[in-house]
A and B are shown apart, each in its own frame.
Chain A
Amino acid sequence: AAARKGVDDSFYDEIQQVLIETDMGYEVAEEVLKMLRREVGARGADDTAEACDLLVEVIGRTLSSPVKTLVPDVSSPNKPVVILMTGVNGSGKTTVCGKLAKRYRLLGLKVLIVASDTFRAAAIDQLKIWAERAEVDFQGAKEGADPSSVVYDGLSRAKSEGHDIVIIDTAGRLQNKVNLMNELGKIRRTVDKQIEPDAIQSLLVIDSTTGQNAITQAEVFGEVAKLDGIILTKLDGTARGGIVLAIKQRMGLPVLEVGVGETINDLVPFDAAEYSRSLLG
């Protein structure tokens, strides 16, 4: 933001461009500008540096949420806890499964990764390598096996072997493919039949380069997979991932984790204040 300069129309125009270029979209940018004008008025901010700080506050507040990624309570008999990883093709699901698995293992938890993507070339091989890197148990499958049966088998195994947490990787799918969304719905129902509702966390993995289509993704995936939160990946690139602000505004769905690279340690819990600073930086 510019140095000591008046908070005038040209400032708001500049901010509008900055906001839209983060991918939050025209409408949400307008809403943010409205909130900013109100704050500027209320606080009597008279220079752009102060207005920019207020903007960071406004966005940080909008994004903040008490929801966190599930951590199993090892003293609870309610085992296992299940994390369901969903999202469109190439968003980063398989990689996130590996990253999360290692984090849970380091907490001393017994982790099982379930490979329900039985369709894409070398998908099971890829996830198996991540399970080996994370040093956790792996429930593989035959290519072409029914995803829901793989999930069913994985959950039965987890219950009998006493795993604390099961991470289910699913195949990438576009939300306008009815048969693939039905398949995901069936996977969710398979989990529901075996696991208590508050022991399930269903996550949508969104690539931070994604534009307005991520809103539709969140809506449609939400209908079949009952989403609890978002994992925003590839934030180590040039994209800002601002679409998550639109999703939070429209649907209340929070970001829980951020992917910041391709190695197993590159996953950090979402920090709304830090993210909104970097959004405008």
Chain B
Amino acid sequence: RLTETLQTAFKKLRGKGLLNEKAVDEGLREIRRALLDADVNFKVAKKFTDNIRERAVGEEVMKSLTPGQQLIKIVRDELVHLLGDTAVEPNVEKGRMNQFLLLGLQGSGKTTACAKLALNYKKDGYRPLLVPLDVYRPAAIKQLEVVGSQAGVDVFKIEEGGIPLEIMRQAYQFAKDKGYSLVIYDTAGRTTVDDEMMNEVIGLRKELQFEEVFLVIDSMTGQDAVTTATKFNESVGITGCILTKLDGDARGGAALSVRDVTGVPIIFASVGEGLKQLEPFHPDRMAGRILG
């Protein structure tokens, strides 16, 4: 465990009266290694330890009886801060028609997340409508219809093989006419190097006013979290993230990477396959998890 590793390392050096900047730098290297093991991106991890170095070589660590613990405390506080400090409320209000657009890589958990969000807000008194815009994946529309019915919410009816932009326009009009207060659009998974698919989602994003554009990210994502998040944010523009499969045992360093490179808050945590298993994202819980 990181705390023990650092305590042992510092004890060895302090014993020789040698707790100094060199020792702290070794501690920071251990911390960088721990962050890399937790899937934090290489550049993000380096930037992180560089940023805390000043505090790390300050009195609170050097003069402490437990310098390892002190260093961990600095790391933990900085992680919590970088992850957003506190849970964030999404941009949803009663009295208007709110719209969410969900996008992300293949298999990240978007379709399931759409239904979870719908159930969550139905409980808060909203009237959600799910809109299937994935016309590619076999049985994707059926999947959204099934989870929509499990959540007890309406799913916009479309035929197979439509065009996402046209479906979006029809669904928007339908939602307005019928007075839905939350419209959630599910899109197909896509890779960021597929120009055609990226152009599609850019077109969808530009078409309407969205209260939230959520990037759905799998919590077991490794170094690629930076590339993917950057590309989606720069090309499409996202307003929030949903981190999925947190009921697994991945450390989830991707959370730090995504937040660091986009500045966008992680708003929800998906913690299971069930539709009830959606929670607000808690920076302090995530920091503890990343540190292992």
Contact B221 A209 (CB under 8 A): yes
| Residues in A neighbouring B223, C-beta threshold 8 A | 20-23, 211, 239-240
B interface residues, tally (CB under 8 Å): 46
Q: CA of A88 to CA of B107 in the docked complex: distance in angstroms?
A: 10
Q: Separation in Å of the B228 CB from the closest CB of chain A?
A: 7
| A contact residues around B93 at 8 Å (CB) | none
B107 adjacent to A130 (CB under 8 Å): no
B20 CB within 8 Å of chain A: no
Interchain nearest-CB distance for B152 vs A (Å): 14
Q: A125-B139, A238-B192 are in contact. Are A209 and B222 (CB under 8 A)?
A: yes
Choice from A25, A90, A125, A129 contacting B36 with Cβ under 8 Å: A25
- Judge whether A213 and B220 touch: CB under 8 Å: yes
Which B243-292 residues have a C-beta within 8 angstroms of A? 245, 247-251, 253-254, 273
Within the complex, what minimum Cβ distance (angstroms) separates B245 from chain A?
Answer: 6
Residue of A nearest to B106 (CB): A234
Residues of A with Cβ closer than 8 Å to B?
Answer: 17, 20-23, 25-26, 88-92, 120-122, 125-126, 128-130, 133, 174-177, 207, 209-214, 216, 234, 236-240, 243, 262
State the B residues within 8 Å of A (CB). Answer: 33, 36-39, 41-42, 105-109, 136-140, 142-143, 145-147, 150, 191-194, 218, 220-225, 227-228, 231, 245, 247-251, 253-254, 273
Report yes or no: A89 in contact with B249, Cβ–Cβ below 8 A.
no
Cα separation A240 to B41 with both chains bound (whole Å): 13
Whether B191 pairs with A236 at a CB distance below 8 angstroms is yes
For the complex, give the distance between the alpha carbons of A91 and B247 in Å: 16
- Say yes or no: A211 contacts B253, CB within 8 Å: yes
Interface residue from B147, B194, B222 paired with A211 (Cβ < 8 Å): B222
Contact A262 B222 (CB under 8 A): no
| Contact between A209 and B228, CB atoms less than 8 A apart | yes
| Distance A237 CA – B142 CA, assembled complex (angstroms) | 26
